[in-house]
A = this chain, B = another copy of it.
Amino acid sequence: MIEIEGGSVTSPRGYRAAGVTCGIKPSGSRDLSLTVSDRPAAGAAVYTTNRVQGAPIPVCREHLADGRARAVIINSGVANVCNGDRGRADAVRMCEATAQRLGLSTRDVLVCSTGLIGVPLPMERIEEGIPRVVAGLSGEGGVEAAEAMMTTDTVAKHAAVRVDLDGHPATVGAVAKGAAMISPNMATMLALITTDAAVPAVRLQQLLVRAVGRSFNCCTVDGDMSTSDTVIALANGAAMGGVGGSRGLSEEAFERLAEAMEHVCRRMARAIAADGEGASKLITVRVLRGRSEAEARAVGLAVANSSLVKTAVFGNDPNWGRILCAVGYAGADLDPAAVAVSLCGRPVYGGGAGIDFDAAALSAAMKSEEVDIEIDLKAGEARAEIFTCDLTCEYVRLNAEYTT
């Protein structure tokens, strides 16, 4: 697997993208994003499990019922949530207008929205922007498309890798946004994965679910799961001469593709956590030797969601007691005397008690943009890696500020 520097959704063959300003966001930054496959593609998606769902989500579900998609239109600035029938009609209209300009059927277009809740989409601006974003499509447009998805992210998030599948070089690319928010926007995590590998829709869904489980579902800024989180994957077979190919991929190739998808998704999840609102540090919580992946994840998420751990990291406090406490309430059936905890590579707890360490030196080591916490459960062979960020005064400030 080789990382492609500056890679994105347009790195795989047969994809074009663009991002334009259509005036949804008062800042004037890009707010309309489009990614298109030049040939039919298999499509898959994973959505938020929040019972309150943005209008785009049921539309995506319907359009992906046949496992095919060719374009994804995304706007930022307004999330199209809690807009009733009008919201649904607007989501459909976005697909329709995009399809018309591309000469596709409406069912081949997927839609996502991120931003304010409870405000309707400014459809006249979106309809004015769609012809322009179609006209702007290019094979280098992936980064622009990533920028147009941003709400209060401070950096565009994109990546791509090249991998060999049964002798064919194939590419997996991704763009994502999420985790930075200001009042009153709602954080939404969106990601789009593209590949030129040939993958049947059912397999693509399986690969996506697995990749999401080990990336976006292992990423938490403040524990809130929004109304609109969506991850979409498209596979157009351009690396192999057609969707489905002549024989289909070998199991070994599927495994390599799975790893490639997981890799780009984890790159995106890590970038989202590092860009968390007010964050000064990326925190990686590694859990080793759990009895199951689910248990390892639960332990990691408990530590990553703990306000006490996150503030301690912010304050460069090597407080293993708070980490251990979070491990203890994760719900895993573990033996506290077996658990070992390391902080920035230094053992701090094990054998049921604290381990002597140079607190001043460890505190100094924590004054880094990346802090690692490692928890060895010594109970099995499963692992998990969770990304989060510290909890800072800036987070509170950003999320408490309100102007009428």
Q: A residues bordering B, Cβ < 8 Å?
A: 48-53, 81-84, 116-118, 181, 183-184, 186-187, 222-227, 305-308, 311-312, 314-317, 319-322, 324-330, 332-336, 349, 352-354, 359-360, 363, 391-393, 395-397, 399-402, 404
Interchain CB contact under 8 A, A399 and B325: no
Complex CA distance for A332 and B51, rounded to whole angstroms: 8
Complex CA distance for A327 and B322, rounded to whole angstroms: 28
Interchain CB contact under 8 A, B349 and A82: yes
What 4 pairs across the A-B complex have the smallest Cβ distances?
A315-B400, A52-B328, A317-B402, A117-B321
Q: Which residues of B contact A391 (CB under 8 A)?
A: 307, 396
Given contacts A321-B118, A322-B186, A353-B118, contact A402 B315 (CB under 8 A): yes
Interchain CB contact under 8 A, B315 and A226: no
Given contacts A319-B184, A396-B311, contact A329 B51 (CB under 8 A): yes
A78 to chain B, nearest CB (A): 12
A223 to chain B, nearest CB (A): 7
> 17 additional contacts, CB 8 Å, given A51-B330, A314-B396?
A49-B329, A82-B353, A84-B352, A184-B322, A222-B307, A224-B322, A227-B328, A307-B391, A307-B395, A311-B396, A311-B400, A312-B400, A317-B402, A359-B404, A392-B396, A393-B393, A393-B396
Interchain CB contact under 8 A, A224 and B311: no
Complex CA distance for A399 and B313, rounded to whole angstroms: 10
Q: Which of B83, B224, B311 contacts A308 (CB 8 A)?
A: B224
Can you name the residue of chain B whose Cβ is closest to the Cβ of A309? Answer: B224
Can you name the residue of chain B whose Cβ is closest to the Cβ of A85? Answer: B352
Instruction: Count this chain's copies in the assembly.
Output: 2
Interchain CB contact under 8 A, B397 and A393: yes
Given contacts A52-B327, A224-B329, contact A312 B399 (CB under 8 A): yes
Q: Which residues of B contact A395 (CB under 8 A)?
A: 307, 311, 396
Given contacts A352-B84, A354-B82, contact A51 B314 (CB under 8 A): no
Interchain CB contact under 8 A, B52 and A317: no
Can you name the residue of chain B whose Cβ is closest to the Cβ of A181? Answer: B308
Interchain CB contact under 8 A, A311 and B118: no
Complex CA distance for A99 and B59, rounded to whole angstroms: 70
Complex CA distance for A201 and B404, rounded to whole angstroms: 56
30 A-B interface contacts by CB (under 8 A): A48-B329, A50-B325, A50-B328, A51-B333, A51-B336, A52-B336, A81-B321, A82-B352, A117-B321, A118-B349, A181-B308, A184-B317, A186-B308, A186-B321, A223-B305, A224-B308, A224-B322, A224-B326, A307-B307, A307-B391, A307-B395, A311-B396, A311-B400, A312-B400, A316-B402, A317-B401, A360-B404, A391-B396, A393-B397, A395-B396
